[in-house]
Every structure is written in C-alpha cells, then in structure tokens.
A and B are shown apart, each in its own frame.
Chain A
C-alpha cells in the first residue's frame, strides 16, 4: 500500500498536476482575444511586460497592493495560508530528504521548529478564512460548497502532515493519510478553483497588460494594479 502510494500513485498525481496545469495555461492563452478583451496583446511588448510583472509583483508581495493594506487581517491570513501550502512543503526537511534519496538532488531546508510554526499558522489562517466566510454577510452570500471543499482539500495535507511528523511511536496511519490527502490535493488543482495556482499569474498578467498598455499605462505615472 505504502509502496503503491509513494510509487505509481505519486507519479500519477504529479503527472496529472503538471500536465493539467500546463493545459489550463495553454487553454487560457489560446482563448485570449485582443478584440473581445479589448487589449492589444501583440503590441507594445515592453509596456506589456512591465504591466504584467508589476501587477503580479504587487500582489504576491505582502501588503504590496492597496487592497492588501486595506484588509490587513485577511492579507495576513492569505499570506500565511499560502506560505504554509507552497513554501513549507517545498523546503520541508522530510520532503527534501525523500527527493535526495531518490534522485540525489537536494536544496536547503527549513528548520523543523520554523516549519512547524508556519504549518500551525497556515492551519490557523485557514480556519480564520473559513470562519470569516460564515461571519461576514458579504462573504457568506458568495460562498458555495465548492469553496468549503477546496479549503478542506487544501488543509488536509497540512493537518495530517503535521500530526504524522509529531506522532510518537510506530503506526503509519497518519503518514498514509498525509500522502493520500497530498495526492488528492495535487490532482484537484487543475480541475477546481485551485487551478488559480497557475491561472492567478495568467489573469494578473492579463489585467496588468490591460492597464499597463491600454488603460493609462502609457500616461502619467502609470497605475499600480
């Protein structure tokens, strides 16, 4: 069982994740239409790149956009959740060890204490975001079951991983659960709202180009989007 989950199943999950994401990006780019979108994608390359990168940069920087500064608490939760979901797994000692054992490549890892702290913070951030969904009428009205599922799918690998790492003694139930939930998460990415893993960069780049080239980017100080 363990061998299957960490062998073929893991490969399959990664393959679905990578190919699925690539397919979403290709579909996105192919479906752009300069005339319908009213953006001159093919012109003013320099401005376009500048607009796209500026837009992405300001939104992946904590408090880099006016909106993040406007909602400090939510921004904190947002960044903590994403750090826990993206940065921690990539630099987790246990993960890096696995890769290095199999492929002989490795990279720096996070100190265990920090990884733990970030995981707990990410879980707390997830819980906060969930509670906020129900507490605020303006978020409740747009919440769908899909959003709850997505949160569950995303938090499950964190929670199971955390428990597995701290479980004293034998019994690899939690570890198995961690692997399974991690794989579910990977597979879900291309097919659900989690596709924003790649589509965030697409849509931010797109609006960056829109504003950088067409709506004001050529004049004045340019608008930070």
Chain B
C-alpha cells in the first residue's frame, strides 16, 4: 500500500479530512498504515536538491565529529548519556544518511527518522552554542522534519495540528465567530470589576495589536481577560484583530512549511489591515518564534521583520513597569523562593534573558529569586518543546525528558516557577503531575494582577456613595 486513508502524503486541507483523522483515536490506524507507507524517493531527492543548500551541506561536511555537542544536549544527559542521543549522531544517522543515499531510503528508515526528529530533539538550539563550527542541529532537525512531513512520516497529532492551521488558521478549531464572541464575553464578564474595560476588535491605527495562542480563547479565556485588564490599567490604546489573532504554529513543529506561511500571512494581513504602531504577542515562546523570528522568512520578507514592530509579552511588561504604566505594590511582591523558566524560543532565539530579569526585579522581593543552573541563554529546554509535549506516541520519552527541568527546579528549592511560555508552562504542569515535587507554576499575567496598583479612577464606583 503506497498511501493510506489516514496516513499519506497529502496535507489536511478540509474540515472533513480533519474530523476523519481526529476520529482515529490516538492515531491507531494512522500509525498502522504508516508501517506500509512507501517513500516517494524521486520526490524526496528533488525536494532536497531544491532546498538543501550550502549552509547545511557544509554543516554535514565539516562536522569534526568531536562530540563537543554531546554534553550540551539535555536529552543526551537525561538519557544516561546514551551515545545515540549525541546531537551529531542524531543528525548524521538521519538527514546525513538521506543525503548520502540521495534519497534512496525506505519506510522503516523514515519511521526511525521520525522517532529521532520528534522524540530525540526539541529543536532547542542549545547544541549550536557549543559546537566549534557553529553547527545548529536544531535547525537541521527542523529541516529533516520538513522532509519527513512531506513524505507523510509525521506524528499523528502534528499532522492534525498542521491541518488545523490550514483549515482554521489556528492550532485549534477556533473560528472567527468563536474568537470574537470570546472577546465580547470576556469583556462583559469583567464589567463589574473593571468598568469601561473593553476588548476592542478590529480597531484601526491603535498603538498595540494583541495576538495570542488559540488555547487561550479555547481553554483558558481568563488569560485573555487578564491581558485586557493589564492593558486597561496601563492605559494602552489597543485592539485585537478578528482574523489573524492566532500567533502559534503547530505547523512549525510539524515541518509543514506551507501551512506555516499561510498562518503567518494571516497575522501579517491583520497588521497591514489595522495598521497598529506595534504588535504585542502573548506569553508563548514558540508562537513568538513562529510569528516574529522565523515567520518573516516564510512570508518572504527579506528584511526578516514582520510588517510592524512585534514584541513578546515580557518586552511589553518590562517596558510598562519601567515607564510606570504598571506599578507594583511593594507589599505584595513575591516573598517566597521563586525561579524563572527561560524559554528557549524568546531567550536563546530572541535575546530576552535580561528583559525577563528586569521584570523579576520589580515583582520579586530581593533575595527570593533563585536562578536555575544553567540559565538565560544557556538554559535547558523544559523537556516538552518542539511539539514533544503533544505527541502521545512519544509520551514515555517526553516524561523522561522532563527530569532535567524537574531536577533543575528541585535544586533551586523554589516552590514557584514563573513560566511565561505556554509550552514550558504545560511541561512544568506535566512534570508536577508525573513526579509530584509540590511546586506551583504561573504565567506573568495572574502574578502581575495580584500585585499591581490599580489607579483610583479605574476602580468600580461604590454605588452607595453615589446616592
């Protein structure tokens, strides 16, 4: 059987196809069909010839096989220094082999490569910092994922995820109506406590356009409400677009570059339509990477920039605190040992390590911040990055991967972990569920709301006194 009903080389582009694939519980039939899926060798080699350029060719050619990258990879360390987890080995035994054989590989090889690409690398890019040649295995693994995806060898959840972006332009089935309704509902819900609070949709020429992670409207709409309240307190002139509000990209995890482009173009179209002065993204690392760091290239913007300056949530918070738009009540600062989870995607891949620390200096009582080791640009991945969190088939490996972060957190002695990244937040939640180390974890928004000083004029008027 060259292609299956569930598992094939065709991307999901319709709601029906999406529902059909979703109906295959846990991808049982999907993975069974993958056993028979054949490789289109000619197409594979043709794709490689078009896209495999000198940077990666050189990386493969000159790798000194020195193994300096081994210790840099948390997956190598946490898997008892299994040599098969050495970054160089992971890429040479997959992509390197495909190139060497000019695409002449079979299904069994591709299934193995899939396991390596999605369960032995989170594309955290840490190894690149330790390689004398500057070889970035994470980047090459991303490329390998693209090749695997184009041949149908992709974990079930990510095939669905990429399909979601193609069908709904969101990682979940949140439609424009759902989204706008959620905005209205959240604004209404807050009216009693926050008179005048709005979530303005499609306001043109605002100072800020806000974008988020589809899981917020879908599963924790209070996150959206919190964002609105904080903008309200800070006195921002802001808006959300009715379309182009979803900033994440499971298609990036899947290696579906076409879907990545479709997704990011939707956001950029919103920017061009509403002409905000700048865009603020939510507390999500991979969303930031997708829409701000890599997105401009998918969309073909040669300067590598989105159509308007686009900042991560920690940048907005740091600025609001610095400029006094948000003021913290010193009495309410965090006075318990607390640690900070650096998200690879906006720390290592966007340089916000110090920006994050600036926020902490406002919200944590001096002496209570205990840093993880290593941290900042040298942090280890939470253990669930690159799509790892969401793939059922690789759950046991993911759970093992969480041990790195668990031990890092335990070593700090902190009981609270601040994690302004959805994916890291999930990983930490899962590690608590799995290993019960009795910690709390939080985004920035709820913490800020607990300690921010609310200006007099924004408080609800006491009805009795009005009489």
Chain A residues close to B by CB (< 8 Å): 27-40, 42-43, 55, 59, 65-67, 70-71, 74, 78, 133, 136-144, 147, 193, 195-196, 199-200, 202-204, 206-208, 210, 213-223, 225
**Does A144 contact B65, Cβ atoms closer than 8 Å?**
yes
Q: Could you say which residues of chain A place their CB within 8 Å of the CB of B88?
A: 142
Which of B268-321 touch A at CB < 8 Å?
293-294, 297, 300, 302-304
**Does A37 contact B92, Cβ atoms closer than 8 Å?**
no
Known: A193-B62, A215-B350, A216-B349. A71 touches B68 (CB 8 A): yes
Least distance between B61 CB and chain A CB atoms (Å):
7
User: Dominant SS at the A interface?
Assistant: helix
Could you say which of B54, B58, B304, B354 contacts A40, with CB atoms under 8 Å apart?
Answer: B304
**Does B300 contact A35, Cβ atoms closer than 8 Å?**
yes
Instruction: Compute how far the CA of A133 lies from the CA of B136 in the bound complex, rounded to whole angstroms.
Output: 22
Known: A207-B136, A220-B355. A136 touches B64 (CB 8 A): no
Could you say which of A33, A66, A203, A218 contacts B378, with CB atoms under 8 Å apart?
Answer: A66
Number of interface residues of B (CB under 8 A): 52
Indicate whether B71 reaches chain A with its CB closer than 8 angstroms.
Answer: yes
Least distance between B260 CB and chain A CB atoms (Å):
11
Instruction: Compute how far the CA of A39 lies from the CA of B65 in the bound complex, rounded to whole angstroms.
Output: 26
Interchain pairs with CB closer than 8 A, number: 151
**Does A216 contact B65, Cβ atoms closer than 8 Å?**
no
Q: Could you say which residues of chain A place their CB within 8 Å of the CB of B128?
A: 207, 225
**Does A138 contact B86, Cβ atoms closer than 8 Å?**
yes
Which of B92-118 touch A at CB < 8 Å?
92
Indicate whether B55 reaches chain A with its CB closer than 8 angstroms.
Answer: yes
Interface stretch, picked from B76-84, B199-207, B390-398, is: B76-84
Q: Which residue of A lies closest to B65 (CB)?
A: A142
Indicate whether B75 reaches chain A with its CB closer than 8 angstroms.
Answer: no
Instruction: Compute how far the CA of A19 lies from the CA of B251 in the bound complex, rounded to whole angstroms.
Output: 43
Could you say which of B55, B66, B300 contacts A32, with CB atoms under 8 Å apart?
Answer: B55
**Does A220 contact B302, Cβ atoms closer than 8 Å?**
no
Instruction: Compute how far the CA of A199 lies from the CA of B304 in the bound complex, rounded to whole angstroms.
Output: 25
Instruction: Compute how far the CA of A160 lies from the CA of B242 in the bound complex, rounded to whole angstroms.
Output: 74
Indicate whether B424 reaches chain A with its CB closer than 8 angstroms.
Answer: no
Least distance between A55 CB and chain B CB atoms (Å):
7
Given A27-B54, A32-B55, output 17 extra A-B contacts at Cβ < 8 Å.
Answer: A28-B58, A31-B57, A34-B302, A36-B53, A70-B71, A74-B68, A138-B76, A142-B63, A144-B65, A193-B61, A193-B63, A199-B61, A199-B62, A207-B134, A208-B134, A220-B355, A225-B129
Instruction: Compute how far the CA of A168 lies from the CA of B370 in the bound complex, rounded to whole angstroms.
Output: 66
Q: Could you name 16 residue pairs across A and B whose Cβ atoms are closer than 8 Å?
A: A28-B54, A31-B55, A36-B51, A38-B304, A43-B302, A67-B72, A67-B129, A74-B66, A193-B62, A195-B61, A195-B62, A203-B55, A207-B128, A208-B134, A214-B293, A223-B351
**Does A138 contact B83, Cβ atoms closer than 8 Å?**
yes
Known: A214-B293, A220-B351. A196 touches B62 (CB 8 A): yes
Instruction: Compute how far the CA of A61 lies from the CA of B62 in the bound complex, rounded to whole angstroms.
Output: 20
Least distance between B36 CB and chain A CB atoms (Å):
31
Q: Could you say which residues of chain B place their CB within 8 Å of the CB of A78?
A: 132
Least distance between B26 CB and chain A CB atoms (Å):
33
Known: A203-B134, A206-B55. A138 touches B349 (CB 8 A): no
Known: A31-B53, A32-B54, A195-B62. A142 touches B303 (CB 8 A): no
Could you say which of A37, A143, A220 contacts B65, with CB atoms under 8 Å apart?
Answer: A143
**Does A37 contact B300, Cβ atoms closer than 8 Å?**
no
